[in-house]
């Protein structure tokens, strides 16, 4: 059988053990927290590019970047997908176990995702600064300290 034919035999609702469902809720919340600020940042960057493009001035305005548009739409689609999956998993966990803790692990997962994003952003910022510093040092001719 072909792989696409195998997908036809998968039912609409695949049952999951309760323990895996309990682990999926904070995990999906963490992914949502990780994608939250990059999505907001991508849309704000796109808005700023648009505002600068429409602003009158002496120089010719730079057009809105196609990469910015793709980045904003892609991160939005990813955030929407993981948010919907997170809510669906939380709802299924509530259906299976009436008093299952959903809010606490969800908030914890979002906070952990935001912390991972912050660590990543600080590391990337430090690497960019180091590259600019080394590029300038080579240009000027001073040794790196």
**Is there a contact between 76 and 43 (Cβ–Cβ < 8 Å)?**
yes
pLDDT in tens, 22-44: 888 899 999 999 999 999 999 99
Q: Does residue 118 or residue 56 have the better pLDDT? A: 118
pLDDT in tens, 58-100: 677 778 889 999 999 999 999 999 999 999 988 888 888 777 7
Task: Kindly report the pTM of this predicted structure.
Answer: 0.73
3-class DSSP state of 93:
helix
The predicted structure's pLDDT at residue 7 = 47
The predicted structure's pLDDT at residue 64 = 84
The predicted structure's pLDDT at residue 22 = 84
Q: Does residue 129 or residue 140 have the better pLDDT? A: 129
CA distance 13 to 10: 8
Listed by start position, the domains of the chain span: 17-113
Residue 17 has pLDDT above 80, yes or no: no
The predicted structure's pLDDT at residue 122 = 94
Name the pLDDT band for 13 (thresholds 50, 70, 90).
Answer: low
The predicted structure's pLDDT at residue 124 = 93
Q: Using the 8-state DSSP alphabet, how is residue 9 labeled?
A: T
SS (H, E, C) 95-125: HHCCCCCCHHHHHHHHHHHHHHHHHHHHHHH
Rounded to an integer, the average pLDDT of 116-129 is: 93
Rounded to an integer, the average pLDDT of 126-133 is: 91
């Amino acid at each position: 059988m072909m792989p696409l034919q195998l997908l036809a035999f998968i039912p609409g609702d695949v049952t999951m053990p309760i323990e895996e469902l309990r682990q999926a809720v904070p995990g999906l919340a963490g992914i949502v927290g990780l994608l939250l600020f990059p999505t907001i940042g991508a849309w704000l960057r796109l808005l700023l590019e648009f505002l600068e493009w429409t602003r009158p001035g002496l120089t010719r305005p730079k057009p809105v970047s196609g990469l910015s548009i793709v980045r904003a739409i892609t991160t939005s689609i990813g955030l929407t997908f993981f948010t919907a999956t997170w809510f669906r998993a939380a709802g299924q966990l509530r259906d299976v176990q009436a008093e299952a803790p959903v809010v606490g692990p969800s908030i914890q997962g979002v906070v952990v995702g935001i912390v991972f994003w912050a660590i990543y952003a600080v590391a990337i910022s430090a690497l960019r600064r180091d590259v600019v510093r080394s590029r300038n040092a080579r240009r000027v001719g001073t040794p790196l300290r």
